[in-house]
Amino acid sequence: MKVKFSQGFIKPPVLCFRSACEMFGKKQADNESYDAYANRLRSLAKRVDIDDSTLLYAFVSGLREKLASFVLGKNFVNIENAINDARVAEMSLGEATGSDTGFLSQQVTEMRRDLQKLAQRYDNIAISAPVQSKRPKSPTSTVTF
């Protein structure tokens, strides 16, 4: 019975090797978010049955270059901390992907244009009231009795 169980549920070494090669060989794609990349690695890690430290090294080594340098600069202890650091890096470096980022970047561009227009208007406004350097003297009135 143990033999039949192991034949049916234990993965052959070839599949484990293929998953391990894919985990360490494939890097994060340009259009892939850190979260999708982390989920892909987690599913591969379940097939290979590796520990968290190996998964952590595979995750950091496969991140895009800017994200990896940011994550390596932090003191990550486990895979969750590294994923959170990658989240911060992706948002702060402006490398987020998806449909929302295109819309947000378009709005930011429009806001910058509007601010530039307002700054130009402010610079071009002439002071409407002339500034008087000397106050005119009030007429002196003489009172006689």
CB within 8 A of 91, min separation 6: which ones? none
- Tell me if 84 is assigned to some domain: yes
The pLDDT of residue 132: 61
When mean pLDDT is compared across 8-12, 36-40, 115-119, the lowest value belongs to 8-12
d(CA 76, CA 88): 13
Q: Does any domain span residue 6? A: no
Give domain status of residue 55, yes or no. Answer: yes
Q: State residue 81's pLDDT score.
A: 87
Contact 68, 89 (CB under 8 A): no
Tell me which of 82 and 95 has the higher pLDDT. 82
For residue 16, tell me if it sits in a domain.
Answer: yes
- Give me the chain's average pLDDT, please: 76
Domain that holds residue 66: 12-92
pLDDT of 94 > 80? The answer is no
Higher pLDDT: 124 or 55? It is: 55
Is 0.85 surpassed by the pTM of this model? no
Q: What angle do CA 106, 107, 111 make, to 5 degrees?
A: 120
The total number of structural domains that make up the chain: 1
Whether pLDDT at 9 is above 70 = no
56-62 contacts, C-beta under 8 A, 24 or more apart: 56/82, 58/23, 58/24, 59/83, 59/86, 61/24, 62/24, 62/26, 62/27, 62/28, 62/37
Residues 16-65 have pLDDT tens digits of 777 777 778 888 888 888 888 888 888 888 877 788 888 888 888 888 88
Predicted local distance difference test score (pLDDT) of residue 99 = 47
